[in-house]
Amino acid sequence: METERFKLKDVLYGIVIPMLLVLLIAVLTIYVNPTGQHHVLGTAGIGGTLAVIFTQGFAQMIVLGVALILGLLWNKWAGGAAGFIMGSIYYLASAGYYTGYFASYMGAEAYHNFFGDLSSLFWIVNAVIIGYMAGALSNGSTNFKRMLGASLTPAIITATIQLYMNYNFSLDFAGATSNFLLDYSPRSMAHQLWAVLGTGLHDSAGAYIPLQYNASSIAYGFTLAFVPSIALGVIIPILAKVMSWYGLQPQRHA
């Protein structure tokens, strides 16, 4: 059989598109990420919110999105297996990053083993669940409404599970003597996400300012906790439907 001749589009798919993805990731990491070198969108307010969505939220959408689309286009087993692989990679990467980050920027007292953090570990569970549930609910259907429902349902469920884990089981830096460390432990920040800015912290005199909530603070917490997942639940079925039009889907097995 004669092999395919080299075409210009091979350069597009083999070099141009991968390099554009590398450039996009570099820009997000250096210029958009709130902890990046330049963080052009800022670290607080609406700019900081968008920066978190475009970086951490985007990374989480990729991790869950791979499992989700394979569940929709192939079957529940492929979705669950892809979720286990993607979730494991994200867990290892994020746990390693935060273990080093807190120790490097906040001193030895802030060193905690994030590999033992249940909220981080649950990214594996959620990635498996979202892929499996999408495949089970769609059951091979290419009807867009069914695919949308099969995508949004596990996306919202996994977002709720992750929110619960972050709020109740993320690391709290127990035993820390510094108020700064107590204020910025992962669990404290998960609580502050839904609270009025400046509450849930210690003031300059060391007095604790109790958590306070209002409609604006709750809307901010909801945006960061659920909007990326809802967007994922809408975007992936659209992508899956377009792929099905062009036959870009694996062979299904019962």
**The domain spanning residue 161 has which CATH number?**
1.10.1760
What is the rounded average pLDDT for all residues in the chain? 86
Residue 26: inside a domain, yes or no? Answer: no
Residue 28: inside a domain, yes or no? Answer: no
Residue 129: inside a domain, yes or no? Answer: yes
Percent over 90 (pLDDT), the chain: 43
pTM of the model: 0.84
Q: What pLDDT band is residue 231 in, cutting at 50, 70 and 90?
A: very high
Residue 6: inside a domain, yes or no? Answer: no
Q: What pLDDT band is residue 107 in, cutting at 50, 70 and 90?
A: low
Residue 104: inside a domain, yes or no? Answer: yes
What is the total count of domains within the chain? Answer: 1
Residue 206: inside a domain, yes or no? Answer: yes
- Tell which wins on pLDDT, 106 or 80: 80
Residue 93: inside a domain, yes or no? Answer: yes
Could you report the per-residue pLDDT of 37-68, keeping only the tens digit for each?
777 777 766 777 778 778 888 888 899 999 99
Residue 2: inside a domain, yes or no? Answer: no
The full DSSP string for the chain is: -PPPPP-HHHHIIIIIHHHHHHHHHHHIIIIISTTSSS-TT-SSHHHHHHHHIIIIIHHHHHHHHHHHHHHHHT-HHHHHHHHHHHHHHHHHHHHHHHHHHHHHHH-GGG---GGG-HHHHHHHHHHHHHHHHHHHHHTT---HHHHHHHHHHHHHHHHHHHHHHHHHHS---TT---HHHHHTSHHHHHHHTTS-TT-SEE-TTS-EE-----HHHHHHHHHHHHHHHHHHHHHHHHHHHHHHHTT-SPPP--
Domain ranges, residue 239: 56-245
- Tell which wins on pLDDT, 5 or 124: 124
